[in-house]
Amino acid sequence: MKLVKVIPMIAMLLVGVLSSCSADAESSELVIANSKYETTPISSPKQEASTSSQVSALKGINLGVAENFVILSKTGITDVYKSDVTGDIGVSPITGAAILLKCNEVTGTIYTVDAAGPLPCRVTNATRLTTAVGDMQTAYTDAAGRSNPNFLNLGAGSIGGKTLTPGLYTWTSDLLIPTDITISGSPTDVWIFQVAGNLDMSNAVRITLAGGAQAKNIFWQTAGAVTLGTTSHFEGIILSKTGINLKTGASINGKMMAQTAVTLQMNTVKRPQ
């Protein structure tokens, strides 16, 4: 008789334990990279709508007159021949002699503040360059000042293999791109990447755009230097407080705007459409 009474009790206990495990398993699976933390529980419908609205409301960075340049620098553009640059370039306030690109490497206008610079193609226009550099610095300040990021320190500063959806991203340290990444979104979506340190892309690594994402809507603001590894490919507009360095054979579909120097080594630079 005692055995008969114990068996139902054991059955009830087993049902309770299994139900609890099932609930825990379901809870552990419902995570997504949808906020300033790399993985957080899926939000309620109301919270998801709020996050989506915040991302869709993100505005791009106004480059002003700097928009017309594919390379803009305050202290010079060095080059290892032969690079292929499509778009206007310029340096200011440093003399045009600090532009080491040759005329046959640039499909566009080479602007200088004085009579120095590549001949016979250079065009002297100090006023235009002064305005462009001022707008470049304003754009940098705007990008750096954006607050309430959708993603904070994603990947702990190493984002190889990730697909990046639209939004504001912030890293409080260096950022490394060790393997290929994808930037995915619509033609009107905006990405702003704030990097407190250096940005380094490893050799032969590529950024690929998907879903209609456009390089002209992707902004990389870096307080430190930017280095693109040998034969790597980059997408987007770089606003760097320091230097931008391209290693041999690296290419970029975007713009490079540096408050110090831009260094080229047989690179392909194309202004985004």
Output the DSSP codes for 134-157: HHHHHHHHHHHH--S-SEESGGGG
Question: From the CB of residue 154, how many other CB atoms can be counted at a distance below 10 Å?
Answer: 21
In this structure, what token pair is assigned to residue 193?
A: 């990447």
- Per-residue pLDDT tens over the stretch 4-58: 444 445 444 444 444 444 444 443 332 334 444 453 322 334 334 344 556 768 9
Q: Which two tokens stand for residue 83?
A: 């690079």
- Whole-number Cα distances in Å, 237 to 36, 218, 227, 232: 23, 6, 14, 16
Closest by Cα among 252, 137, 269 to 199: 252
Rounded to two decimals, what is the model's pTM?
0.83
pLDDT of residue 273: 84
**How distant is the alpha carbon of residue 110 from its chain centre?**
26
Q: Which residues pair with 235 in a beta bridge?
A: 253
**At 239, is the pLDDT very low, low, confident or very high (cuts 50, 70, 90)?**
very high
As given in the structure block, the two tokens for residue 189 are: 């979506």
Q: What is the pLDDT of residues 181-238, one digit of tens each?
A: 999 999 999 999 999 999 999 999 999 999 999 999 999 999 999 999 999 999 999 9
Instruction: Give me the phi and psi of 190, to 5 degrees please.
Output: -125, 140
Q: Which residues pair with 73 in a beta bridge?
A: 91, 258
Sign of dihedral through CA atoms 223, 209, 147, 42? negative
Q: Where are the domains of the chain?
A: 2-56, 64-270
C-alpha angle 249-170-213 in degrees, rounded to nearest 5: 55
Tokens of 105: 């490497």
